[in-house]
A and B are shown apart, each in its own frame.
Chain A
Amino acid sequence: MIERHESVVVTTFVRVLVPLAQLFGLYVLVHGHESPGGGFQAGVILGASYILVALALGREALEERVNERACVALAAGGVLLYVATGAVGFAGTAFLDYAALPGPGSPVRARWLGILLIEIGVALAVAATLVLIFCRLAARDAET
């Protein structure tokens, strides 16, 4: 059973830590294609931040913040964003050819944007899937 942690130190520290962790997740996401990091890592950090909420503040605190139906939509939607970005490449040479993305600037700039969009899709899918797995397992734990 996952319940609110008794220690004030833990709950207070988690309240401070979670927004910072999410900010760091976003940093890892938007810098992923230029420095170490990327969509998967960012998704894991974002997902872990929500799981930390549940572990320290209880499952109810998590349920106040996220909605399982929204998680399903985000998990599948992240993959769809990936496919949609890749499909823009049909206008160019092939699937995933980001140089065909519309917008100002050179093909290099278009590839930069394409990779960012793909990373956002991956991050959404990974974060939502992690939270979903945790929610389902925790719900089963609560039933028994």
Chain B
Amino acid sequence: MRGHLPVLPLLLTLVGAMATPIVALVAPRAASGLAVGAAAAAALAALGGLADVLVAGPRRYALGGWPGPWGIELVLDPLSGFVGVVVAGVGTAALLAGAGGARRVYGDAAPTFHALALVALTGYLGIVASGDLFNVFVFLEIAAISSYALVASGGGPGLVAAFRYAVLGTVGASFYLLGVALLYALTGSLNMADLAARLPALAQSPLLTGGAALIVVGLAIKMALFPLHGWLPDAYTHAPSPVTALLPAVGTKAAAYALARILLSVLGGGDLPLAMLLAWTGAVAVVVGGVLAARQQDARRLLAYSSVSQMGYIAIGLGLAGTSALAGAYLHMLGHALAKGALFIGVGALLLAGRRPALAALGLGPRQPVLGACLVVAALSMVGVPPALGFFSKWYLLEGAVAAGQPGLVGAILLGSLLALVYMYRLTGAVWFGESGALPVAATPRPVLAVLVVLAVATLGLGLVSGPLVDRILIPAAVLTTAAAGP
């Protein structure tokens, strides 16, 4: 079965997504368990895939036995293996933590939520696995359409947010598809490896410039890169709690992965003026997102704007395109997925326990120390305090910015950490010391606490082993993306 590891994670989530509504017809409670089990199986398969890459090297998987560039290829290499583990692992944690909340929010329709969430995960895992530009589009849309439905599933203001998300998401997808069409017109190929081999000879073509710009703008909308983040704050603020546990943690990461893969290894990003533009846009995103987050009064909106800021860090790393900057960007995908997942799960638990989302009403005091402590650990990672993962990812980014001789970017990275300190203190301070701390609040369910502890421990533990993680997996991933970009 080892040869089939590239396709297994997304097949497992797809089978889970389709089996869940069927099982729900006869045994609704078992269906939710089945969905979480399918996600966990996909996470294990992704982990197996990553281990296999480390032992046996990258794999190219030809669907149907038709090899590229004619057939559709999946690619399993250090980068896609790593991001696959991030998406499937954090996705499983989010589904597990959201299972109880889903029964509260959706009632009898909870299995439908789980099926939709698994379809979204299938899309994200497909983006990560695909070695073909058009297939990335198909999986982007699978993920996006299920995300629109998930954001809308709570009704109320979520419907408006979902409509806005759908409009902007479709614009992003259209830009991407148009860019792919231009590249196809230029080369007659959609296979990433094939394109990477053909494009250097066509570097002067205006079609390449136009296609690259359209693809980058389309994916920047999908990853909510400032100033194209318009859909994100409302979507993450008004979606139901089980949804906000999943989408903010994994959704934007898959788009960022697609941008890294296509910009760096297909378009030869390091040499394009586009890359520096991306890095500086990221720097502006870090600062503006941080300032906006620090001004919010609603906990979920604060976290949403902090996502805008943190995605800026990833854009800086991708734009700099040096080895340590890329390793930092990839490590930041993991660090941010864990921390943001934990923060949204924690805040979602407080909301389900009867609290309103305003910061002034979130006070918990010392009564649930485990929940409070996990939130603090995640917040420290967002700020970048050692030994949390966020420190190391920002360290590698700083190293990359210094190596590239960009003091402005260094300043933005540091300023972003300072702003994160402000907005994260506003959240955790409100939880620990808020005046509403004496009001009654229902106990947090055990599975939610367990997931929070796992995410917090992973944030600290993976931070401690981030050296080997970077050396064994992320540096090869960074070298792979930059080497393929070379002449």
Contacts and interface: CB of A to CB of B under 8 A. Distances in A.
Provide the main secondary structure of the chain B interface.
helix
Interface size class of A (residues with CB under 8 A): 20 to 34
B65 A94 contact: yes
Given A73-B22, A76-B19, A76-B21, A87 B63 contact: no
A44 B61 CA distance: 32
Contacts of B19: 76, 80
Contact of B63 (A79, A83, A94): A94
A76 B22 contact: yes
A97 B4 CA distance: 12
Interface string B1-38: 10110010001001100111110010000000000000
B64 A95 contact: yes
Contact of B65 (A73, A75, A92): A92
B294 interface: no
Interface centre among B11, B61, B64 (most CB of A within 10 A): B64
Interface residues of B, number: 19
A50 interface: no
A12 interface: no
Nearest to B62: A94
B113 to A, nearest CB: 15
Contacts of A97: 64-65
Contacts of A87: 11
Nearest to A114: B64
Nearest to A90: B4
Interface in B48-66: 61-65
A89 interface: yes
A77 B25 CA distance: 13
A54 to B, nearest CB: 22
Interface string A91-110: 01111111100000000000
A96 B11 CA distance: 12
Contacts of B21: 72-73, 75-76
Interface string A61-78: 000000001001101110
Contact of B62 (A69, A79, A93): A93
A134 B22 CA distance: 20
Nearest to A77: B22
A32 B32 CA distance: 37
A80 B22 CA distance: 10
A83 B18 contact: yes
A80 B15 CA distance: 7
Nearest to A99: B65
B18 A79 contact: yes
A93 B62 CA distance: 8
A93 B22 contact: no
Contact of A93 (B1, B14, B65, B115): B65
A90 B64 CA distance: 10
Contacts of B18: 76-77, 79-80, 83
A95 B15 CA distance: 14
Interface string A28-69: 000000000000000000000000000000000000000001
Nearest to A75: B21
B323 to A, nearest CB: 33
Contacts of A77: 18, 22
A139 to B, nearest CB: 14
10 contacts: A72-B22, A76-B20, A76-B22, A79-B18, A80-B15, A80-B18, A83-B11, A89-B64, A94-B62, A96-B63
Leading 3 A-B pairs by shortest Cβ distance: A93-B65, A96-B64, A97-B65
Given A75-B21, A90-B4, A95-B4, 17 more contacts: A72-B21, A73-B22, A76-B22, A77-B18, A79-B14, A79-B18, A83-B14, A83-B15, A83-B18, A87-B11, A94-B64, A94-B65, A95-B64, A96-B63, A96-B64, A97-B64, A97-B65
